[in-house]
Structure 1
Amino acid sequence: MLLSINAFSQKKINSKVELKQSIDNYLRQTIKTNEIPGLAVGVVEDGKIIFEAYYGKENLEENNSVTKNSLFRIYSTSKLISTVGVFQLIEKGQLSLEDKISKYLDHLPREWQEVKIKNLLSHSSGIPNIIQYNDISVTATDSEKIAKLSQEKMEFETGNQFSYNQTNYWLLTMIIEKITGKTFEDYILKNQFSSSKDEVLFSSNSSENIPNRVVKNFYNTKTKLYEKTSENDGLRAHSGNGINITLPTFINWSNNLANNVFLNSETKKSMWKLFEFKNKQDHFCYGWDITKVNNYDSYGFSGGNVSAYRNFPDNKLSIIVLSNGYRYAPIQDQIINHIASLVDKNLIDEYLLSKESITSEFLKINNQNAEQIYKELKKKHPEWNFEKTFNSIGYILIRNDRLHDAVKVFELNVQENPNSADAFDSLGEGYFIAGKYEISKKNYLKSLEFNPKNDNAGKMLLKINQIFLQKNNYNE
């Protein structure tokens, strides 16, 4: 009997070791393929940390390694923490989703008067998005910003649709401060990070010198080097994109959320309830995105294309991905989906995993086997369509000066989707960039054949005809 128990325990330990190794192998390969400078990943299942690892460098200039003390700016993933702060006030009865924002904020334009708290959280307010107006200084006062935005038209009828908007969370900041009498930052620290000294701070300024802060990088396709970002969204952007946090602190936050420390279960359910958009098309909860993985709901958000958090409540699983850049395309959600499939077999989504595999193969420098791998997958699952995947791969390759490879991908997309206006449009663009105007024209004409309303194809044909006209005049 004792031997059996020991054997079972050893098998379980080996299983955990194998899982950690599988996740680690996957992440190392992903880092290599996408040339990710620095990465931290945490996985929590049923309240226990089953994986926590750190890779690469915090800062490419100083060559500091990513560690448990590294502070990652999580950009718009900050909105999840801000949203929990809003629902803490709702749970205490100090705020309601149905409250009009004019109840808390003065001097609002008439068009904003009917906007409610629920519209800010669901990005259905229709209020002009502040980041679209370069003439509004980040150092402007709240009153000055409101006065400026008041001169602009509403983007759409309040409640009609989802439109991601930074103004919404700036307004929530002011409302939180009005209700609590505290700064937004002090309120969040006291109610969600009271025991996390120096492990969470607020800054929306990438140029600010902060010890152990991981700065986002972008890959310059011309110099073939990473360069630090220098954007500064100001002090009033903290609720939307300015939280900087270590992975252990984020894991602790996740556990407190799961264990109903921040909010009771009923409040969480209301936070994760779908908002009813008037257009009956968009899907979004209150501050949280909802994603289905193999028919299981997950809730979370991503930020700056470098961070993401996802909670799978039915599977008691949470995954955190924090990084500081990528060469080809943002992959934080892809990483979450893949890790989820390794941890829980119920979360294996073969289509998503196949998309990831296809993308990875076509992005390789020597990708001679990519098409064969795709066709083998397609043979097994003829019902699967990868038109959008190929289109995305093609444009990623173009951005990375691999035009020849991009055109080959667009050609394959046309072969696989011979009735797609979009596929022919993209192939037309590939040939246009390559200077092959005759064949570009043929593909744009084909695109118009399938979609006569394709304005882009029409504009490109006019441009090509103008090029031909200029050549003829020059030859004459």
Structure 2
Amino acid sequence: MRTIDVQTSMDETAQSMLSDSTITSVSIGILKDGIAYTSHYGELDSGKGNTPNDETIYEIASVTKTITGTLVAQAVVDGKLNLDDDIRKYLKDDYPNFQYKNKVITIKDLVTHTSRLPANIPGFEDAFKKGGNNWLKFGQEVEKAMKNYNKEKFFDQLKNAVLDTIPGVIYEYNNLAPNLMAHVLENVYQKSFDELLNEFIFEKNGMTSTKMRLSEDEQIRLANGYDGKGNRMPYSPVSTWGADGGLKSTTADLVKYMELHLDTTNAAAVESHRLNFTVHSNFSLGYYWNIGNNDDGTIHYSHHGGGMGMQNVFYVYPAYNMAVSIITNASTQVTGDLLHRAARRLSNDLKPNGKKSIEEEIRAKTMQNVDEGIALYHQLKKDNIDAYDFENQNALNNLGYELLSKNKVEEAIKIFTLLVSEFPKFPNPYDSLGEAYFINKEYELALKNYKISLELNPNNTTADEMIDKIEKIIQ
């Protein structure tokens, strides 16, 4: 088996990202077995040759929520909060609207996006509608809405909020709840949120370049953000506490933050990873952390940060004694997928006994010509079977669904057919192939594959529903 070193994996992952025309720069930070690695690629401003470095500051957007969550966990460890407490216990004003049929909003509901409070500030959803596919227009509309928003309007919005169902039951991603959580933390510690960040997170971990608000000198180090067409995007103003996404940081500082969350002796970090709510079998919530499963069944903690002109992902893999941060100063509707795929590639490369991702190795060729991609798959399996992970059925499944997302249905059918031939005893490949045939209106073939999937997994309710639907169509 080929041994993949960290630097080679970072270099190859970055080059794969830079092959996308919307990406001009990538910064990667990794902490592996206690050793820190940072590498930077491309140029921050197209044509200027200014490669980012360890001093480059980025908006980390919603990765901020994990830091807020870590502070909440610290408060629980300190006995200042209890997850099941009614949040009104820590608020000065009365909020009779913070309950539904006698079920109150708790601290746990705030940190798991299940409070049913308004998800965003007024005007945020309208910005999506006005922006449409124009990312610059969307950013400008969001900037306008945020600049007219402040703490006074925040509390007015909460006082007028009407819960539509019982808190703690339905997951809906929420940007207001972390700021209310910041206010609660201020009340229980009698210190400002910024002071708490410095005391419990930044100073203890040497994160000297992580700030909510930058000085003039630090502002010079802040990367410009762009949309996928090279238009300069506005920065995100901090209109309230910024606990939902206002922090700026460097790759070097984020590696120090990794150290905190890989420290099994740190009570607050461990508490922040506690599973507090399950959305489905591969997605749960800790204290704002997303909790998911790796292909080998181990657990990771992650978050995506989507700013108007920058995006990043942050993953912690305790079973691999590793954490990963990837940042780019580009923001489009597909940037998040590129970042998550890059993180998967790094984790597959660098996990113990890791093998390179076959998905990434054949992806570019598959997207250009599916037959050549499949031929490369067979060639690599014949000549380099020990170097690539051919046991992960998600690799081909992901490629098939990416082709479907591009309306390349015939090509997707070929990939899913390969998937079925490689994993004939598993139900999901047949389910995916059935879906592709259904989209292509090849109903008999869709029905055949859904029936096999259901036979292999009698609990596959989706296959059961699709069989019923197809039989009604072909009657």
Fold conserved between structures, TM > 0.5: yes
Does 2:143 align with 1:130?
Answer: no
SS at match of 1:320: strand
Does 2:13 align with 1:34?
Answer: no
Contact 2:374 2:415 in 1 (8 A): no
Residues 128-167 of structure 1 aligned to structure 2 (within 5 Å): 128-131=118-121, 133-134=123-124, 138-167=147-176
Cα deviation, residue 382, structure 1: 11
Decide whether aligned partners of structure 1 residues 425 and 73 sit closer, same or farther in structure 2, where only a CA change above 3 A counts: farther
Decide whether aligned partners of structure 1 residues 382 and 111 sit closer, same or farther in structure 2, where only a CA change above 3 A counts: same
Alignment partner, residue 110 of structure 1:
96
Residues 262-277 of structure 1 aligned to structure 2 (within 5 Å): 264-277=265-278
Could you tell me which of 296, 303, 312 is aligned with 2:305? 303
SS at match of 2:113: coil
Alignment partner, residue 252 of structure 2:
248
Contact 1:37 1:326 in 2 (8 A): no
Cα deviation, residue 423, structure 1: 3.0
Cα deviation, residue 211, structure 1: 1.1
Decide whether aligned partners of structure 1 residues 389 and 137 sit closer, same or farther in structure 2, where only a CA change above 3 A counts: same
Alignment partner, residue 228 of structure 1:
232
Q: Which runs of 5+ in 2 are unaligned?
A: 127-144, 383-389, 419-429, 442-464
Could you tell me which of 34, 54, 64 is aligned with 1:78? 64
Decide whether aligned partners of structure 1 residues 21 and 287 sit closer, same or farther in structure 2, where only a CA change above 3 A counts: closer
Decide whether aligned partners of structure 1 residues 212 and 45 sit closer, same or farther in structure 2, where only a CA change above 3 A counts: same
Does 2:5 align with 1:19?
Answer: yes
Does 2:287 align with 1:286?
Answer: yes
Contact 1:162 1:282 in 2 (8 A): no
Q: Which amino acid aligns with 1:104?
A: Y
Cα deviation, residue 278, structure 1: 9.1
Q: Distance in 1 between matches of 2:279 and 2:7?
A: 47
SS at match of 2:242: helix
Deviations 1:124-173 (A, max 9, x none): 21212124644875433334233335445425421113221111111112
Does 2:436 align with 1:423?
Answer: yes
Alignment partner, residue 402 of structure 1:
none
Decide whether aligned partners of structure 1 residues 209 and 451 sit closer, same or farther in structure 2, where only a CA change above 3 A counts: farther
Once the two structures are aligned, what percentage of the paired residues are identical?
Answer: 16
SS at match of 1:103: helix
SS at match of 1:307: strand
Cα deviation, residue 285, structure 1: 1.7
Q: Distance in 1 between matches of 2:243 and 2:413?
A: 44
Contact 1:391 1:426 in 2 (8 A): no
Alignment partner, residue 463 of structure 1:
none
Does 2:70 align with 1:57?
Answer: no
Decide whether aligned partners of structure 1 residues 168 and 326 sit closer, same or farther in structure 2, where only a CA change above 3 A counts: closer
Q: Which amino acid aligns with 1:344?
A: K
Could you tell me which of 346, 369, 372 is aligned with 1:369? 372
Q: Which amino acid aligns with 1:190?
A: E
Does 2:184 align with 1:182?
Answer: no
Q: Distance in 2 between matches of 1:57 and 1:130?
A: 33
Cα deviation, residue 383, structure 1: 6.9
SS at match of 2:220: coil
Contact 1:41 1:321 in 2 (8 A): yes
SS at match of 1:341: helix
Contact 1:22 1:342 in 2 (8 A): no
Select the structure of larger CA radius of gyration. Answer: 1
Deviations 1:92-131 (A, max 9, x none): 2222222221112244543424111111111121212124
Could you tell me which of 194, 201, 212 is aligned with 1:202? 212
Cα deviation, residue 70, structure 1: 0.3
Decide whether aligned partners of structure 1 residues 335 and 109 sit closer, same or farther in structure 2, where only a CA change above 3 A counts: same
Deviations 1:14-61 (A, max 9, x none): x7xx61442144224313432421111122123222x32111122337
Could you tell me which of 202, 223, 226 is aligned with 1:193? 202
Q: Distance in 2 between matches of 1:355 and 1:278?
A: 27
Cα deviation, residue 216, structure 1: 3.4
Q: Distance in 2 between matches of 1:137 and 1:325?
A: 20
Contact 2:63 2:313 in 1 (8 A): yes
Does 2:302 align with 1:314?
Answer: no
SS at match of 2:40: strand
Q: Which amino acid aligns with 2:315?
A: R
Contact 1:58 1:212 in 2 (8 A): no
SS at match of 1:248: helix
Contact 2:413 2:433 in 1 (8 A): no
Contact 1:111 1:154 in 2 (8 A): yes
Does 2:178 align with 1:169?
Answer: yes
Deviations 1:280-318 (A, max 9, x none): 996222221112221221222121182122222233222
How many aligned residue pairs are there? 396
Residues 333-352 of structure 1 aligned to structure 2 (within 5 Å): 333-346=340-353
Q: Distance in 1 between matches of 2:393 and 2:71?
A: 44
Contact 2:397 2:432 in 1 (8 A): no
Contact 2:313 2:339 in 1 (8 A): yes
Q: Distance in 1 between matches of 2:123 and 2:35?
A: 45
Could you tell me which of 38, 43, 67 is aligned with 2:30? 43
Decide whether aligned partners of structure 1 residues 451 and 372 sit closer, same or farther in structure 2, where only a CA change above 3 A counts: farther
Contact 1:359 1:393 in 2 (8 A): no
Decide whether aligned partners of structure 1 residues 232 and 314 sit closer, same or farther in structure 2, where only a CA change above 3 A counts: closer
Contact 1:300 1:310 in 2 (8 A): yes
Decide whether aligned partners of structure 1 residues 189 and 421 sit closer, same or farther in structure 2, where only a CA change above 3 A counts: same
Q: Distance in 1 between matches of 2:315 and 2:231?
A: 28
Cα deviation, residue 244, structure 1: 0.9
Alignment partner, residue 239 of structure 1:
243
Contact 1:203 1:235 in 2 (8 A): no
Q: Distance in 1 between matches of 2:392 and 2:354?
A: 22
Alignment partner, residue 329 of structure 2:
324
Q: Which amino acid aligns with 2:107?
A: I
Residues 433-472 of structure 1 aligned to structure 2 (within 5 Å): 452=469
SS at match of 2:110: helix
Contact 2:412 2:436 in 1 (8 A): yes
